Structure 1
Amino acid sequence: MPDDEERVGAELARTLEDAARRLLERGPGDEEGVQHTLGLIVQGAIRTVPHVDQAGISLVRRGGKVEAHVPSSEVVRDLDVLQNELREGPCLDSIWYEQRTLIDDMGAADRWPRYSAAARDRGVGSLMSFQLFASTGSAGALNLYAARPHVFDEGSADIGALFASQAALALHGAQRIEGLHTALSSRDVIGQAKGILMERFGVGQSRAFEMLVASSQNTNLKLVDVAIWLADEKEKGASRG
């Protein structure tokens, strides 16, 4: 109905605006920016998409392992873990193959027999899953659950897809900002380590950096980890002195 569509649209707009505002308000020292944004997405989906009772986000990490993030319940977390074990499920298909997956009756879903049975046993009647993003080195899905079967239709899926597309943009922004903060922090600590070596060995910046690189290669540690260790050792020495 038009009134319902207007209400859902207004709620969706408010939710996304809130996510964007909180993202922008996040300070440089807030290391939970991505997780916080994921939490806003899940809460917003439950509030906004009709008939959704539970929600969660699946993200793929290195090695292809799927991890559950900010699940609204242990059931949602368990189902992500189960998909890893069974290597089947609608969330995995949404991540790798499809932009959206809609199951209006989990009892009749024979595409993933073991997963479907487990989901039914945990009180899931319907499910929608939407691809959040799929680019080199990253993939994810927004997963929405309902206790009753036959409550999701194409209208629900369209709203869920719209929400997921905007959520993907918010998540990408949060990851980008966190990456910038990490890069800045790494640059600062590497500069600090170079200064320590320059003072200790009486060398210039280029030579100090070469020493850091050589130490990184010899210890099989990342350059920034070597720099952090050196800065920590300097601080410990100062406190002991």
Structure 2
Amino acid sequence: MTMLSGSDLAARMADLARTASAARSAADILDSVTAAAVELIPGVDTAGILLIRGSGHESVADTTEIPRQLDALQMTLNEGPCMQAALADTEIVTDDFRSETRWARYSPAVVDIGVLSGLSFKMFTGERTAGALNLFGFRPRTWNDNDIAIGGVLAAHATAAILAYQQGEQLRAALLTRDQIAQAKGIVMERYNVDDIRAFEMLRQLSQETNTKLFEVARKVIDTR
């Protein structure tokens, strides 16, 4: 891997930002982040992102199958750097899993798989979801400050992009809900010859009586007319 100069790194990060802003989905954003980690950080051979929701987990944006395999291993053993970064620490640095003592069962299992070093960075992904950007090397590596700084920037970039994407999705959902309620209200006004306020009250009353969310009542009205 060719070592990037400061200007090359800045240019690559700018490219990544443009890619994220043009990405059509959260998956596109995360794929660009893990690919950039392998490209930008010497010693990183594979990368992925672990998302933990309640008692379950999801592995996304893996550049190979190995991060997914390691995520499953950690969830089974209930220990490991990716879990620890996602749920507690901001960053976890492992230079050589062969001498790592923090995870008594996980570390030797990782060595058997062929992974000898790693970096994990916490991602603040949401109220009910914890996440971590996880980078692995097939050789021991004394990670330096530059490696850790780039990884931290990528994790922060992924977090910001995902939160922005989630906010956009929430806005689109809110606008769709508003439009559905307005359409349902119009149907009620026409069918029962009532005004705007009375139509909305009828929908709201039906929502309360059936313990159904208002937008679901509106959608049912639209579907059945």
Residue by residue over 1:117-136, the C-alpha shift from the partner in whole angstroms, topping out at 9 and shown as x without a partner, is: 33223221111000122664
Report which stretch shifted further, 76-85 or 224-233.
224-233
- The whole-number CA distance in structure 1 between the counterparts of 2:130 and 2:172 is 22
Partner of 1:182: 173
Partner of 2:13: 16
How many residues get paired? 224
Report which stretch shifted further, 168-177 or 36-45.
168-177
Check conservation: 1:11, 1:48, Cα contact below 8 A.
Answer: no
Aligned-residue CA RMSD in angstroms?
2.7
Check conservation: 1:34, 1:178, Cα contact below 8 A.
Answer: no
Partner of 2:96: 105
Q: Do residues 149 (structure 1) and 166 (structure 2) align?
A: no
- The whole-number CA distance in structure 1 between the counterparts of 2:160 and 2:190 is 45
Closer, same or farther: CA 102–171 of 1 in aligned 2, 3 Å = same
- Which amino acid is 1:46 matched to? V
In structure 1, stretches of 5+ residues that fail to align are 235-241
Closer, same or farther: CA 43–193 of 1 in aligned 2, 3 Å = farther
Partner of 1:239: none
Check conservation: 1:23, 1:37, Cα contact below 8 A.
Answer: yes
Residue by residue over 1:198-241, the C-alpha shift from the partner in whole angstroms, topping out at 9 and shown as x without a partner, is: 3233333333334444444555544333433433344xxxxxxx
- Which amino acid is 2:85 matched to? S
Q: Do residues 35 (structure 1) and 27 (structure 2) align?
A: yes
Partner of 1:46: 38
Check conservation: 1:16, 1:167, Cα contact below 8 A.
Answer: no
- The whole-number CA distance in structure 1 between the counterparts of 2:63 and 2:111 is 17
Q: 1:11 deviation in Å?
A: 4.4
- The whole-number CA distance in structure 2 between the counterparts of 1:213 and 1:44 is 49
Moved over 6 A (4+): none
| Aligned sequence identity (%) | 40
- The whole-number CA distance in structure 2 between the counterparts of 1:76 and 1:233 is 47
Partner of 2:75: 84
User: What are the equivalent positions in structure 2 for 1:151-170 lying under 5 Å apart?
Assistant: 151-170=142-161
In structure 2, stretches of 5+ residues that fail to align are none
- The whole-number CA distance in structure 2 between the counterparts of 1:130 and 1:139 is 11
- Which amino acid is 2:75 matched to? N
**What SS does the aligned partner of 1:209 have?**
helix
Query: Which is richer in helix?
Result: 1
Q: Do residues 209 (structure 1) and 200 (structure 2) align?
A: yes
Check conservation: 2:125, 2:159, Cα contact below 8 A.
Answer: no
Closer, same or farther: CA 18–172 of 1 in aligned 2, 3 Å = farther
- Which amino acid is 2:176 matched to? S
